[in-house]
Structure 1
Amino acid sequence: MKTSKRTEPAKVVRCAIYTRKSTEEGLEQEFNSLDAQRDSAEAYVASQKHEGWEVITQTYDDGGFTGGNMERPALKRLLTDIEAGRIDCVIVYKVDRLSRSLLDFTRIIETFDSHQVSFVSVTQQFNTSTSMGRLVLNVLLSFAQFEREMISERIRDKVAASRRRGKWSGGMPLLGYTVEHKKLIVDEIEATRVRQIFELYLEYQSLLPTIREINRRGWTTKRWITKKGDHRGGREFTRNALYKLLTNVTYIGKIKYKDEVHEGEHVGFVPVELFNRVQNRLTNNGKAGGTTVRNKHNALLKGLLQCKACGRPMTHSYSSKGNKRYRYYVCGTAMQKGWSECPSPSVPAGEIERFVVEQIRTIGSDPVMLAHTAAEVQSRSQIAKELLRDERKALDRQIRNDHSKLQAIAANTHIAGNISGLSEIQQRIQTADQRLKAIADEESALATQEIDQSDIQRVLADFDEVWDALPPREQVRVVSLLVDTVNFDGAGGNVAITFHPTGLKSLLQQPLETAQ
């Protein structure tokens, strides 16, 4: 009697389907790209049912994630389940759905191999369990990576072309502007604040004191809400944040791409003259501090002296001959392009420093110079008043807008639960109210502490009496406190001094003291 041979049932192969789409566009549709990829993979598994293939219930869908890296939640879950021994085969619609990076793909395949998991691409008909399948796979993936790099190059070229045409090409929102239809539109409230930050830096002449004043006023970096509804920005200024703001050419109507600067389509709201003065001060001070930080030779005019012909700062330097040292100031243009490019490339340091000190000494006794200096100081005081007035108007507008937002939230009960947004608006109103009180105090102080010709004469009289007894470092401090800029016209032999009104007031309230 013959016995029939029993066929053993095929071993169950647990198949995981992985799908991916680079953007979120279209994912809200009832049947989207991820669904189409899954349908194709399920059909392939059904064709292998006789081999025991079955789709597991767990889904691995990455919608809105690039294939250029492995920072994808579904991919991480897939690898975790493979390491736990829950999967025998991974199926994708195309190879580049799993990865577009040859290096990342190699790492993923190594994980598959170490856990005896095979890999199948539905549309490219191969299996990594064979050497031919592995060869074809690597070739296809190389082309996928090549395509990704080509896309990146095209995007970079597009950004470069856009910047060269003066267009805003995206990035983090900028304080002072809103973005409408991919164009920068001036936000008048924030623009007023940005201009005042530039003025504050010129007043304090250093980053850290400026930051302290900005934070005291309750001003923060740009606030914005992402497309996902996340709140970003709105933080206190740091040294780096302030430096980036002060050096951003966008504020003078230009667009920067790498080292290139082009005219922008948007409107600049910081005066070019103000922007250039800030850049000169930053150049002399360095990113980290003020003029006294690196002034080891006690150069009186370091960070103050400007070449009138070039509009560039003049740098303190020296040369030695034997035991004797010769100090001088050299124009930035001459240093970078050669001395033939500037009509006044350098000037002896001791000579021009003595000249400036003598000019300061004689102002108090020369009626014409005294009147001119007083008029200049009063003009700058008027500018300070106007800045405070503009800031007050901007804060009033901001408070009105914030109150309107609060009313809108109260009127719409379905968004009234947004406690974080509500508290943020209330905090902003409170900060603005505090700043308005401070502005009122500052306006009152400006009105009661105006300096006139007699005050200037008294300050400079004290200067004349005690100057020679001051130690060198104190002399540097006093000059930097008194003087905003010194313009040197080498061709005409003229020197023009611009004073700090706040410095004169400080010396009036705190008389100079000699070293004991």
Structure 2
Amino acid sequence: MNQRVKPPCKPKTIKCAIYSRKSTEEGLDQDFNSLDAQREAGEAYIKSQLHEGWVCLPDQYDDGGFTGANMERPALRRLLADIESGKVNCVVVYKVDRLSRSLLDFSRIMEVFDKHQVSFVSVTQAFNTASSMGRLVLNVLLSFAQFEREMISERTRDKMAAARRKGKWSGGTPILGYNVENTKLVINEAEARRVQEIFGMYLERKSLLAVAGELHIRGWRNKLWKTRRGTERGGRRFDKGSLYALLTSVIYIGKVRYKNEIHDGEQDGIIDPETFAKVQKLLQKNGQSGGRAVRNKHNALLRGILRCGSCNCGMSHSYSQKKGSRLYRYYVCQRAQKRGWKHCPAPSIPAGEIERFIVDEIKAIGRDPQVIEATLKEARIQAENQSQRLTVERNDLRGELREAHAELSRVAATVGPGDARLANAHDRIGDAERRLTEVENQLAMHACDLIDEAEVTSALADFDAVWQCLEPHEQIRIVELLIERIEYDGEAGDVSITFRPSGIRTLASELATR
């Protein structure tokens, strides 16, 4: 009986690349130099593995005169590129240190090898990752590389901590209001003015979303900067998160933060500490209570502006309601709430009573010549300040447009149509042009926007009729606009109201429009 014998299987072809390196150029001009010797040893080893299907590739990967302390070597880069394209199955070196003298770099190279299933052989050290022993040695080396990476991370963190404690800028994303020059923060005057306005805007509007909306209308964006490679970063529209990050940055008061530590910084401050503290207190208050709308769900008209004159403290809104009965609202002295009612001569007052009294006083504004005179004087001062602010912003916007157009020309010369950088540059120019138009219109309006005494008196004469048509939240806004504070002295039975002349003028303008 005849039996057929299967021929032996032909081994799979293993394409081998020999890598050689010499740190100096000395002797490379000789007929047979160190690189030749390394390659000859590699070729001999590959020939000994011919039965395993090993084949030496004709391409030479020789780095003469390059250190092994880094990966900036042309032949090594070419070898890694050929590995990624599938041209190489095995890399052969004379010694491990020919490939790299850095364990960290060696681990990175091994990651590329492992990703593309490329084995690694050291001729003189019996090192071959195709065998289990070779992989064991590799894992030991990678463990040392991991240890080196962790040590580098620890040293970097320690260096950053020491720099922050000395008040130095230790890198990261640049912040609006500053430029980075020689690793130091230097104030950018145009951006600094915007930062100051943003802080003032939040104190006035008391809402992140409202401020973010206003910044969107103005076309103001986050810090636009370039990386060392020339890539643009930032320049995005403000949202609630990025606005909160700006308002809570201690850099603006000349400080630096490291974890929970605050240290004096080398940079000059943009915001005065008092304003910064007010903003932080308001942010914390809004964050704890969910915002003004949540806090004032019973539409307390005088919340936040009514104070107890006897105890020199605020009066908070409170209410009581039995099941099935009507709601009774009060303003209560905070000292009486905390220490007991006996500590205040008049610990509470019915909310409806004091609110009606204040509304009646507001209606009488138009009949008081002294209030009208003070209003117009304050209005003129504010209009002049506003015109100066708008003029500065107009000049800044013109400068920004010049820079944006120059940047657009540079980008257009280096990239093709459809590139994202071109679209970003066009967006910046469009936003700046729209805002510039708005600013110029506002300046033109300011030139003829001052109202006289007769207009104020006429507008406020209609306040009673308009007040009845307002929604509760609009009435609250009007009161906050008009009144800075109310002192209630329950013992003497006196009420003192401090009006905002600027608010009276704004109200008169709104009523005239209505």
Same fold by TM-score greater than 0.5: yes
Q: Distance in 1 between matches of 2:481 and 2:211?
A: 15
Q: Over residues 425-453 of structure 1, what are the superposed CA-to-partner deviations in whole Å (9 max), with x where a residue is unaligned?
A: 78766654554332222122223222455
1:51 paired to 2:48:
yes
Contact 1:385 / 1:443 at 8 angstroms: preserved in 2?
yes
Q: Distance in 1 between matches of 2:348 and 2:19?
A: 74
2:395 to 393, 396, 399: 393
Q: Distance in 2 between matches of 1:466 and 1:124?
A: 94
Aligned to 1:25: none
Equivalent residue letter for 1:380: Q
Equivalent residue letter for 2:394: R
Q: Distance in 2 between matches of 1:487 and 1:40?
A: 94
Q: Distance in 2 between matches of 1:302 and 1:316?
A: 7
Aligned to 2:256: 255
Q: Distance in 1 between matches of 2:262 and 2:394?
A: 34
Aligned to 1:508: 511
TM-score under structure 2 length normalisation: 0.65
Secondary structure at 2:293 match in 1 = coil
Q: Distance in 2 between matches of 1:240 and 1:121?
A: 54
Q: Which is further off, 350-359 or 442-451?
A: 350-359
Equivalent residue letter for 1:51: S
Alignment of 1:82-101 (within 5 A): 87-88=89-90, 92-93=99-100, 96-99=104-107
1:450 paired to 2:429:
no
Q: Distance in 2 between matches of 1:292 and 1:126?
A: 71
Secondary structure at 1:185 match in 2 = strand
Structure 1 505/266 Cα, relative in aligned 2: closer, same or farther at 3 Å? Answer: farther
Secondary structure at 1:442 match in 2 = helix
Equivalent residue letter for 2:16: C
Q: Distance in 2 between matches of 1:425 and 1:349?
A: 59
Contact 2:42 / 2:92 at 8 angstroms: preserved in 1?
no
Q: Distance in 2 between matches of 1:73 and 1:322?
A: 83
Structure 1 131/292 Cα, relative in aligned 2: closer, same or farther at 3 Å? Answer: same
Contact 1:100 / 1:148 at 8 angstroms: preserved in 2?
no
Secondary structure at 2:229 match in 1 = coil
Contact 1:371 / 1:453 at 8 angstroms: preserved in 2?
yes
Q: Distance in 2 between matches of 1:479 and 1:157?
A: 53
Q: Over residues 285-339 of structure 1, what are the superposed CA-to-partner deviations in whole Å (9 max), with x where a residue is unaligned?
A: 559997336642323355778999xxx9x896757686577766898x9x9xx99
Post-superposition shift, 1:181?
A: 0.2
Secondary structure at 1:14 match in 2 = strand
Alignment of 1:89-488 (within 5 A): 92-93=99-100, 96-99=104-107, 118-120=119-121, 126-129=127-130, 131-202=132-203, 204-286=205-287, 291-292=292-293, 295-301=296-302, 318=318, 357=359, 360-361=362-363, 363-399=365-401, 405=406, 417-418=413-414, 432-452=432-452, 454-458=454-458, 460-464=460-464, 467=467, 472-482=472-482, 486=485
Structure 1 298/250 Cα, relative in aligned 2: closer, same or farther at 3 Å? Answer: same
Equivalent residue letter for 2:151: M
Q: Over residues 400-434 of structure 1, what are the superposed CA-to-partner deviations in whole Å (9 max), with x where a residue is unaligned?
A: 6667x58997xxxxx98347889977876665455
Contact 1:253 / 1:266 at 8 angstroms: preserved in 2?
yes
Q: Distance in 2 between matches of 1:174 and 1:182?
A: 13
Kindly report the root-mean-square deviation, in angstroms, between the aligned alpha carbons of the 2 structures.
5.6
Contact 2:19 / 2:91 at 8 angstroms: preserved in 1?
no
Q: Distance in 2 between matches of 1:151 and 1:482?
A: 60
Q: Over residues 181-220 of structure 1, what are the superposed CA-to-partner deviations in whole Å (9 max), with x where a residue is unaligned?
A: 0111122232233333344445555444444443343333
Aligned to 1:3: none
Q: Distance in 1 between matches of 2:260 and 2:331?
A: 31
Q: Distance in 1 between matches of 2:169 and 2:306?
A: 36
Q: Distance in 2 between matches of 1:287 and 1:40?
A: 74
Q: Distance in 2 between matches of 1:505 and 1:122?
A: 92
Q: Over residues 440-496 of structure 1, what are the superposed CA-to-partner deviations in whole Å (9 max), with x where a residue is unaligned?
A: 22122223222455555555554456647755344224334545x548799x99775
Q: Distance in 1 between matches of 2:36 and 2:318?
A: 78
Q: Distance in 2 between matches of 1:229 and 1:465?
A: 61
Post-superposition shift, 1:173?
A: 2.2
Structure 1 456/316 Cα, relative in aligned 2: closer, same or farther at 3 Å? Answer: farther
Contact 1:253 / 1:263 at 8 angstroms: preserved in 2?
yes
Post-superposition shift, 1:156?
A: 1.8
Contact 2:41 / 2:123 at 8 angstroms: preserved in 1?
yes
Q: Over residues 95-148 of structure 1, what are the superposed CA-to-partner deviations in whole Å (9 max), with x where a residue is unaligned?
A: 5435379xx96x986x78xx6x64446898644455554444434322321221
Q: Distance in 1 between matches of 2:250 and 2:360?
A: 38
Q: Distance in 2 between matches of 1:419 and 1:156?
A: 38
Aligned to 2:5: none
Q: Distance in 1 between matches of 2:315 and 2:141?
A: 59
Post-superposition shift, 1:162?
A: 1.8
Contact 1:188 / 1:394 at 8 angstroms: preserved in 2?
no
TM-score under structure 1 length normalisation: 0.65
Contact 1:284 / 1:291 at 8 angstroms: preserved in 2?
no
Bigger radius of gyration = 2
Q: Distance in 1 between matches of 2:386 and 2:274?
A: 17
Q: Distance in 2 between matches of 1:242 and 1:458?
A: 40
Q: Over residues 200-257 of structure 1, what are the superposed CA-to-partner deviations in whole Å (9 max), with x where a residue is unaligned?
A: 4455554444444433433333222322222333333333333333333323322233
Q: Distance in 2 between matches of 1:159 and 1:374?
A: 54
Equivalent pairs counted in the alignment come to: 451
Structure 1 319/300 Cα, relative in aligned 2: closer, same or farther at 3 Å? Answer: closer
Q: Distance in 2 between matches of 1:494 and 1:264?
A: 44
Structure 1 382/479 Cα, relative in aligned 2: closer, same or farther at 3 Å? Answer: same
Unaligned stretches of 5+ in structure 1? 1-8, 20-30, 32-37, 67-71, 410-414, 512-516
Contact 1:316 / 1:328 at 8 angstroms: preserved in 2?
yes
Q: Which is further off, 270-279 or 223-232?
A: 270-279
Q: Distance in 1 between matches of 2:80 and 2:488?
A: 68
Post-superposition shift, 1:358?
A: 6.0
Structure 1 188/469 Cα, relative in aligned 2: closer, same or farther at 3 Å? Answer: closer
Q: Over residues 11-52 of structure 1, what are the superposed CA-to-partner deviations in whole Å (9 max), with x where a residue is unaligned?
A: 975335799xxxxxxxxxxx9xxxxxx999868735624434
Structure 1 244/339 Cα, relative in aligned 2: closer, same or farther at 3 Å? Answer: farther
Q: Which is further off, 274-283 or 147-156?
A: 274-283
Equivalent residue letter for 2:384: Q
Structure 1 215/42 Cα, relative in aligned 2: closer, same or farther at 3 Å? Answer: farther
Unaligned stretches of 5+ in structure 2? 1-9, 21-27, 29-34, 64-68, 94-98
Contact 1:10 / 1:50 at 8 angstroms: preserved in 2?
no
